[in-house]
Structure 1
Amino acid sequence: MSPKEISLALDSLWVMMGAVLVIGMQAGFALLEAGSTRMKNSGHVAGKQILSFSIASLAFWAFGFAITFGTGNSFIGTEGWFLKEGDGTFDALSWANVPLALKFLFQLGFAGVSLAIAWGGFAERAKLAVYFTFGTIFTVLIYPVIGHWVWGGGWLGEMGMQDFAGSTVVHLQGAVAALIATILLGPRIGKFNKDKTPNVIPGHNQVYTVIGGFILWVGWFGFNAGSTMAVGDGFFGYVALTTNLAAAAGAVAAIVTSKIMIGKADIPAMVNGVLAALVAITAACAFVEPWAAVVIGAVAGAVTFWTSVYFERKGIDDPIYAFSVHGIAGAIGTISTGFFASPRLVEITGVGEAGLVYGGGFHQLIVQVVGVLGAAVYVAAVSFIVLFLLKKTIGLRVTAEQEISGLDISEHGSYGYPEQLDPVFINPSTKSVVQQ
């Protein structure tokens, strides 16, 4: 094999591995979200991850990938439907030396993660039909538009916005959609008292939450380091380093913050601190030095815990704290490069300018803020319009009786934990009903 052929083979293997890691994050979300919600909804919450990724796969293949990376204008791609390749169709990805099929699979993983985050705001009370409708629209008309703005040759990319692996493109988008859904759906039954004070609705399995969080941590190496889409210069190793340092700092900062604020070292808070730090470093992982990665991760981990408490006290019932973990942290991470982007790393990546700390001035900081605000406004507006129309037509929420009995039984006909929640079963030999 020639050196060029060896390079292509290695890069292709690396991107495939990255795609598997990112797609595998769906298993992490399934465990994290199921563990963070109640037993009567566990099968539904876990199962919707398969539904979510299936919807995303079909919609992104048909339209989303073309709108994100297809040749078009500063706002959307207009070529490449159904992954049809032609001269110049996907020039936005021409920098990656791998086949188009691998580029698609890798980017599909990102779209799937963003949709999985959005579902957090729907948890334990949304109709199954809403997942089909909103999931398709999100993957076609919401996620790809911001993706094109930043990564597909759009106006934010032309400004030099630094979002290496998607703090804004992936995480902020999903989080804003989750917030709009949370507001329009309203809180779960029993979440708030008449005086507006919140009640704790604990998840049914902290072990699942921790395991899910760790799966996501590992998957994030595909998310961030895989975004180099090449192995030749070894830069993926540096990206993995900053990613890991940030996650560790987020865990420590979050559990310390919870101890200070509520007097207990809360385990779910620590897991969310890890995730918030990973979300934050996703934009910055290729642009900042290791010390800055630690700072970014620690700030994201601490702030996320505080905001999760704050929003809950303001009457917002976000069951898995999607907006705090992915939205607030996504904004922190994206804006952080405006402060901490290192001149040497900016030169390596060729994106944007050095941050304020290095004397780069306010330009990059302004670009980052504009990117965050532009994305948030677009996603919020379109999500609100779509979900409001669904609310007025088919409805967003299950009935009170269905919510109380649990979505496992009301939407799917069986519980995720039948022995614990349904003590009646049929004896297969006598066909009689037996009470356990």
Structure 2
Amino acid sequence: MSPELIEVKYALDTFYFLICGALVMWMAAGFTMLEAGLVRAKSTTEILTKNIALYSISCVMYLVMGYAIMYGGSAGGYLPDVWFGNIISNSTAEEVLASNGDIYYSGASDFFFQVVFVATAMSIVSGAVAERMKLWSFLLFAVVLTGFIYPMQGMWKWGGGFLDAAGFQDFAGSGVVHLCGATAAIAGVMLLGARKGKYTSDGKVNAIPGSNLPLAAIGMFILWMGWFGFNGGSELKVSDIGEANAVADIFVNTNAAAAGGLIAALIASQLLFGKADLTMAINGALAGLVSITAEPLAWTAGYATLIGAIGGIIVVFSVLFMDKIKIDDPVGAISVHGVVGIWGLLAVCLSANDSATLMGQLTGIVVIFAWTFVTSLIVWVIIKAVIGIRVTEQEEVDGIDASECGLAAYPEFVK
């Protein structure tokens, strides 16, 4: 390969990686809008604050230690070789040329792409604990999840650890990102409890409508768009015919799964409730996206639509089940990212990915869930003991915007 061609391919793949990272970063806006639309007006400012703060915390903690843990090497496959430090390193021009194309993007672009993934995992937690958790308790947890809990299980798969050696397949993160975030949320919600008035003593579920469904729908479309970077960027390169075709297939399959999930959830809600429930449709689209994330390439578009549709149906029943067992999740994050994340990982066994085995997928699911749940629960318990995790009953009734932020998102309507 000529030096000129190597340089062009390196520049193109680096640029592609960065653009995909920017699309995933834009998902932070999607989560922010989605969650702000699905909570009550009196809790909107606080959830906006959580989302912009968690993104910033994720960036700092992943730079300080998370990236080193995840990609600094692991001789035994279980513990990282490096725990702290900035290990971002770009290859020199001489190294790139000498590699004859094996080094095809810059180290800094890899860090940027990975750091926006960890922010996505933390955003999942935000919606599940909305409207009753103390802001600073949440942000303290974000420090630990993004700096330690997420990178450890990420290293076990994407950093060449023991899960990767066991054959666990997770192309873009149905498990590493979505199941991890949802599991951390489950641990927090179990300790936190439900919102006041959500469940009655006789088992009745009281719906608590969101304040701004147009905002939630916009958030869904932003996430849908960002997912093209999430899955497409995970192909890592685009600079030859084979890779370009693969990226195009990933985009098509990602879009098809989202569409299938939305339609299936919309039909399911009509059959179950006699109404076309917008919130179920929104979560159906996201469920479709989570379903395809573990393997967005080894399908035809028709099968990708079906995989997403199954995810859309699963999420409807999962949301209902969570309410039945009194797990209060205002945005359905645990169902979308956790329950459907498991489906996405198992679905890989049905794809054309010959490396996937049921045992390998189950191993990954169990390890990610167990690690994240236990460590997250320990952290939540410590935070609860030291500063508490839940606002007072009166603060919840008044709205946590007032107590946590001192600002109302809709001052004309919130008294």
TM-score norm. by structure 2 comes to 0.93
8 Å contact from structure 1 (residues 96, 229) kept in 2: no
Moved more, 167-176 or 67-76: 67-76
**Distance verdict in 2 for CA 1:149–1:190, change over 3 Å:** same
Q: CA RMSD in A?
A: 1.7
- CA–CA distance in 1 between the matches of 2:68 and 2:338? 25
Aligned-pair CA distance for 1:95 = 6.6
8 Å contact from structure 2 (residues 47, 126) kept in 1: no
Q: Which residue of 2 aligns with 1:126?
A: 133
- CA–CA distance in 2 between the matches of 1:45 and 1:167? 24
Counterpart AA for 1:153: G
Aligned-pair CA distance for 1:87 = 11
8 Å contact from structure 1 (residues 115, 139) kept in 2: yes
Q: Does 1:419 pair with 2:388?
A: no
Q: Does 1:219 pair with 2:226?
A: yes
8 Å contact from structure 2 (residues 235, 247) kept in 1: yes
Q: Which runs of 5+ in 2 are unaligned?
A: 92-100
SS at match of 2:321: helix
Aligned-pair CA distance for 1:262 = 1.3
| Pick aligned residue for 1:309 from 320, 326, 336 | 320
Q: Which residue of 2 aligns with 1:318?
A: 329
8 Å contact from structure 2 (residues 291, 307) kept in 1: yes
- CA–CA distance in 2 between the matches of 1:393 and 1:59? 22
Question: Percent identity among equivalent residues?
Answer: 38
Aligned-pair CA distance for 1:81 = 3.3
Q: Which residue of 2 aligns with 1:238?
A: 249
Q: Does 1:300 pair with 2:300?
A: no
| Pick aligned residue for 2:397 from 395, 399, 404 | 404
| Pick aligned residue for 2:214 from 184, 192, 207 | 207
Counterpart AA for 2:18: M
- CA–CA distance in 2 between the matches of 1:330 and 1:255? 20
- CA–CA distance in 2 between the matches of 1:183 and 1:79? 33
The 5 Å alignment of 1:130-279 reads 130-232=137-239, 233-234=243-244, 235-279=246-290
Give a deviation string over 1:204-239, Cα, whole Å, max 9, x none: 111111100000000000000011121123021111
| Pick aligned residue for 2:67 from 65, 68, 71 | 65
8 Å contact from structure 2 (residues 88, 108) kept in 1: no
Q: Does 1:115 pair with 2:122?
A: yes
Q: Which residue of 2 aligns with 1:394?
A: 387
Give a deviation string over 1:390-422, Cα, whole Å, max 9, x none: 222211101111111111111111101111114
Counterpart AA for 1:411: E
Q: Which residue of 2 aligns with 1:51?
A: 53
Q: Which runs of 5+ in 1 are unaligned?
A: 89-93, 344-351, 354-363, 423-436
- CA–CA distance in 1 between the matches of 2:413 and 2:5? 60
- CA–CA distance in 2 between the matches of 1:97 and 1:402? 53
Counterpart AA for 1:221: F
Moved more, 282-291 or 368-377: 282-291
SS at match of 1:284: coil
Q: Which residue of 2 aligns with 1:24?
A: 26
Q: Does 1:76 pair with 2:72?
A: no
By relative contact order (CA 8 Å, sep 6+), the higher-ranking structure is: 2
- CA–CA distance in 2 between the matches of 1:314 and 1:50? 31
Q: Which residue of 2 aligns with 1:3?
A: 5
- CA–CA distance in 2 between the matches of 1:45 and 1:86? 35
| Pick aligned residue for 1:34 from 33, 36, 40 | 36
Q: Does 1:370 pair with 2:373?
A: no
TM-score norm. by structure 1 comes to 0.89
8 Å contact from structure 2 (residues 89, 107) kept in 1: no
- CA–CA distance in 1 between the matches of 2:89 and 2:395? 50
8 Å contact from structure 2 (residues 178, 290) kept in 1: yes
8 Å contact from structure 2 (residues 50, 139) kept in 1: no
**Distance verdict in 2 for CA 1:272–1:410, change over 3 Å:** same
Q: Which residue of 2 aligns with 1:336?
A: 347
